[in-house]
Structure 1
Amino acid sequence: MNSKFSTAILAGALSVLAASNASAVTVQNIIWDPDASVGNPNQPADDFIGKTTYTQWFQAASAENTFSARQAINTSDLGSLTGLSLTGTGIFAEFNGINSINGDPFPDTNPADFADNVQLTYGFGGIVVTAVDLTNPAAPVFTLDYSNAWVNLYSDANLNYGNALPETSDAVDSTFGTPFLTLKIDTLDLSTAVLGSNLFGDVRAYFSVTGGAAADYFDTNTQTNASGGVSDLFYTSSSQFKDGDNFTTGTAELSGDTQKLPEPASLALLGLGVLGLGKYSRRKLIA
């Protein structure tokens, strides 16, 4: 084989591989660019930021993707939440700065849709309150057991998740099929404050990817978590319960790093190029 020709094969294979990696990826009709430059100064490797809205409540601890009666909040009796599970559902409004719906919000600064005829939704639960320390009633301390917690993201073609109740039934709709991602909570810190008849809460958590259709893109171990280990994703959220409420709404952000995966066709072409070079080298040796 001519050396120039063999070089051309390898160069062509590499160029196709590079071209395939330069394009956006699509998993379950969710479209994003693994090289998006959105960044997080606290985690320089971050290239993914997803912004969400959610509804959460306290209910009896239950199996995964099971939603039940909600406990009303009484800031004068927060100890009654002991044994209950923090549970909720949400929807992604942004994925790397791309809006979920053209023209929403208005004015639309990123006129593109990351979800092609689907909604990226999620559910979580199994975060059980094991104790509530009311030594300082204005700053109660919740002890949580999340060893059996679950967090699942879904590409939901039913398009029925709304900003009003009942979000729970909408989340159940999305559980039929392979999740977009399944996550495990590595660390979770909840800080709360009581002001008047309001219970304010802020969460900081780190997740590891355990499965889902998009797992290989998100399983990157780039986040240093609160225990000094490594996780895949960092989560922050804030919400506010009022006395008498049995649910609250809030906003959250999920960030981390995603990676490119070579496409099978590109790998095949690269393999052909290397194979061609191998044959050429053997012929040189025989000659």
Structure 2
Amino acid sequence: MNVLKKTLAGAALAAAAAVSQAAIVNVGGVTWDTAAVDANGFSLDFSGNTASVHQTINAQGVLSGTGTISGINDNTNFCTGCTLTFSFGGFQLASGSLPSGNVTGTFLPSYSGGWVNVMVNYANAPSVLWLGMVGHEVDGSSLDGTIVTRNGTVRSMFGGGQLDVVGGLAASYFDTNTMTDGADFTFGTVFTTILSARDAFGSGTFTSKTRVTEVPEPASLALAGLGLIGLAASRRKQAK
């Protein structure tokens, strides 16, 4: 009986340890906790944020820019010895317009197409594509913006859209089709330093429902634990 108890206790501890480890994912040095929750107790799955993004729109209405990811699931120490940066472009103005002149009003430009590349940058090694994405269009729009002006001055500027994963080290974790209209990611940006409607700096967030395929799911671990228990019981019977 003591042997059985010890075996069961060991199996339980091993399963518990595996469950706790299963929540932590490491891809190319970038880590995140899939079991993380926000201050209100809601599951984060994967939520990234950036305090630094620069967006420009050229004369042809094509939106592009760069940024640095500053946190994942409320954790700023997610990339030991590395950084995550991103670039984006190819978002073409499809409907609506940008303000010009001494105007007051709310403008709602929408963009089609687009791409976003997230790169993991190492101190002593070449940068690697961590996640490659393209715009996911809903009713012809992959990105919708809002620009509020007063007497020709932009007072507020923000936008959001959706993306599909197409490649990169972490692609298998995010190609889940679980966000808006079956997209893999939704994102949003708020601009706090607005030089013009075509040139702005700000911050943003991006969220996704993730899946973990390289480590056991809790249900699988529970089944494995039951298997160990059954094996221990079987051996005990044979020993009698």
Deviation of 1:58 (Å): 2.0
The answer as to whether partners of 2:35 and 2:43 remain within 8 angstroms in 1 is no
Does the alignment pair 1:250 with 2:202? Answer: yes
Q: Which residue of 2 aligns with 1:95?
A: 72
TM-superposed CA distance for 1:85, in Å, is: 1.5
Higher alpha-carbon deviation: 90-99 or 246-255: 246-255
* Residue 56 in structure 1 maps to residue 20 in structure 2: no
Q: Which residue of the partner structure matches residue 134 of structure 2? A: 184
Matched, 1:152 2:117: yes
Match of 1:86 among 46, 59, 63: 63
Q: Which amino acid aligns with 1:87?
A: S
TM-score of the superposed pair, with normalisation by structure 1: 0.59
Deviations 1:32-52 (A, max 9, x none): 1111123889xx664222110
Distance of 1:32 and 1:254 partners within structure 2: 14
Question: Contact between 2:33 and 2:45, CA under 8 Å: does it hold in 1?
Answer: no
Q: Displacement of 1:150 after TM fit?
A: 0.9
State how far apart, in whole Å, the 2-side matches of 1:15 and 1:196 are: 66
Count of aligned positions: 216
Q: What is the Cα deviation at residue 20 of structure 1?
A: 3.8
Select the structure that is richer in strand.
2
Tell me what 2:185 maps to.
233
Distance change >3 Å, CA 17–CA 151, structure 1 → 2:
farther
Over the matched positions of the two proteins, sequence identity in percent amounts to 23
Q: How does 1:56-205 map to 2 (within 5 A)?
A: 56-59=55-58, 81=59, 83-99=60-76, 113-130=77-94, 132-133=96-97, 138-146=105-113, 149-158=114-123, 176-177=127-128, 179-186=129-136, 187-199=142-154, 200-205=156-161
Give the unaligned 5+ runs of structure 2.
Answer: 137-141, 231-240
CA-to-partner distance for each residue in 1:44-96, whole Å, 9 max, x for gaps?
A: 6642221102111124xxxxxxxxxxxxxxxxxxxxx4x23111111111111
Secondary structure, in 3 states, of the residue corresponding to 1:116?
coil
Q: Larger relative contact order (C-alpha < 8 A, sep ≥ 6)?
A: 1
Cα distance in 2 for residues equivalent to 1:218 and 1:138: 38
Task: Supply the AA of the counterpart residue of 2:118.
Answer: L
**29 and 233 in structure 1: CA distance in 2 versus 1, 3 angstrom threshold:** same
**CA-atom RMSD in angstroms:** 4.1
Q: Does 1:222 align with 2:189?
A: no
Residue deviations 1:115-161 (CA, integer Å, cap 9, x gap): 11111111110011245547985223324222xx11111111259xx
Contact between 1:181 and 1:211, CA under 8 Å: does it hold in 2? Answer: yes
Checking the alignment, whether the CA contact within 8 Å between 1:39 and 1:48 is kept in structure 2 is no
CA distance in 2, matches of 1:220, 1:145: 22
- Alpha carbons 1:198, 1:242 under 8 Å: kept: no
Matched residue type, 2:117? N
Q: Distance in 1 between matches of 2:117 and 2:14?
A: 34
* Cα distance between partner residues in 2 of 1:134 and 1:238: 17
Q: Does structure 2 conserve the Cα–Cα contact (< 8 Å) formed by 1:45 and 1:256?
A: no
Which structure 1 residue ranges, 4+ long, deviate > 6 Å from structure 2?
none
Counterpart-to-counterpart distance in 1, 2:45 and 2:19 = 15
Pair 39,217 (structure 1): closer, same or farther in 2 beyond 3 Å: farther
Residue 106 of structure 1 corresponds to none
Counterpart of 1:138, as a letter, is G
Unaligned runs of 5+ in 1: 60-80, 100-112, 160-172, 278-287
Separation (CA, whole Å) in 2 of partners of 1:247 and 1:94: 24
Output the TM-score relative to the length of structure 2: 0.69
